Amino acid sequence: MNLYEINNITKIYGDGETKVNALNGVSLNIEEGKFVVVLGASGSGKSTLLNILGGMDNATSGEIIFNGKNITELDQRKLTRFRKENIGFVFQSYNLLPNLTALENVEFSTEISKLPKQGADNALAIVGLSQRKNHYPAELSGGEQQRISIARAIAKKPKVLLCDEPTGALDYKTGIMVLNVLRDINKKQETTVVLITHSQDIAKIADVVIKMRSGQILEAVTNPTPLMPDEVEW
């Protein structure tokens, strides 16, 4: 079953002299439960694509079907609801609120979404940080903060987790730990994961690798033998 069916989307930013064609006719299906890596150089349109998949932004043209439902022309209010109900985001920067503890940061997100939740405590256990729940972000390492931000994203049990360079600010070993957590969530909770990277090595853990260049998909390659994150060397 396809979670996403994306037909010929374009995205144009600005107009006149400042016009940028960020996506030029992207078509793609994403199967439910897969771990998908979007690979491409800086400026190739990866974040633009991810933001459109997550309902953070509208495409200029084309069609996006999510879980059988056309979300292409939802207005801002409906798009916000779609996001709350279905999407978890993880970014390179952790965006935790500094005055809230780890647990409060995760709870805050479950409160603003009225979904079946797996709960903040459970989400923290899944990322392996139950024992840090009363710590403040400044008392946690970068990798731990990123795992808290993952817990925050999964507490509402989203159908899909969209990750924009989640290990971009982390060293090698910490990055692997974070990728392990994401792979684990994908396997055990059957959450579809779409992860952006410019690392060929990280792409080795994917079920499917989408290669982008200049706002277009060069190829989508199924990987018959994805590596576990700790088998990857880079």
Ligand X SMILES: Nc1ncnc2c1ncn2[C@@H]1O[C@H](COP(=O)(O)OP(=O)(O)O)[C@@H](O)[C@H]1O
Give the binding site for Mg ion (CB under 5 A): 47
The residue within the footprint of ligand X, chosen from 6, 28, 39, 45 (CB under 6 A), is: 45
d(CA 170, CA 58) in angstroms, rounded, equals 30
Stretch that binds ligand X, among 42-50, 129-137, 150-158, 184-192 (CB under 6 A): 42-50
The residue within the footprint of ligand X, chosen from 13, 70, 97, 114 (CB under 6 A), is: 13
Spatial contact of 137 and 105, defined as CB atoms under 8 Å apart: yes
Pairing status of strand 20-31 against strand 192-197: unpaired
Stretch that binds ligand X, among 37-45, 181-189, 216-224, 226-234 (CB under 6 A): 37-45
What are the strands of the beta sheet with 2-13, ordered from one edge?
Answer: 20-31, 2-13, 61-66, 69-70
Q: Which does 44 bind (CB under 5 to 8 A by kind): ligand X, Mg ion, none?
A: ligand X
d(CA 66, CA 133) in angstroms, rounded, equals 34
Spatial contact of 120 and 111, defined as CB atoms under 8 Å apart: no
The residue within the footprint of ligand X, chosen from 1, 14, 68, 219 (CB under 6 A), is: 14
For ligand X, the closer CB: 14 or 98:
14
Other CB atoms within 10 A of residue 110 CB: 18
Provide the mask over 172-211, with x wherever binding to ligand X is found by CB under 6 A and - wherever it is not: ----------------------------------------
- In 165-213, DSSP assigns E strands to 192-197, 208-213
| 44 lies in the binding site for ligand X (CB under 6 A) | yes
For ligand X, the closer CB: 10 or 27:
10
| 40 lies in the binding site for ligand X (CB under 6 A) | yes
For Mg ion, the closer CB: 47 or 86:
47
The residue count for binding ligand X (CB under 6 A) is 12
**How far apart are CB 164 and Mg ion at their closest, in Å?**
6
The residue within the footprint of ligand X, chosen from 7, 12, 20, 72 (CB under 6 A), is: 20
Alpha-helical segments (H) within 72-164? 76-86, 102-112, 120-126, 142-154
Other CB atoms within 10 A of residue 134 CB: 10
Spatial contact of 164 and 92, defined as CB atoms under 8 Å apart: yes
d(CA 193, CA 172) in angstroms, rounded, equals 21
**How far apart are CB 217 and ligand X at their closest, in Å?**
12
Which residue's beta carbon is nearest to the bound Mg ion?
A: 47
For ligand X, the closer CB: 2 or 92:
92
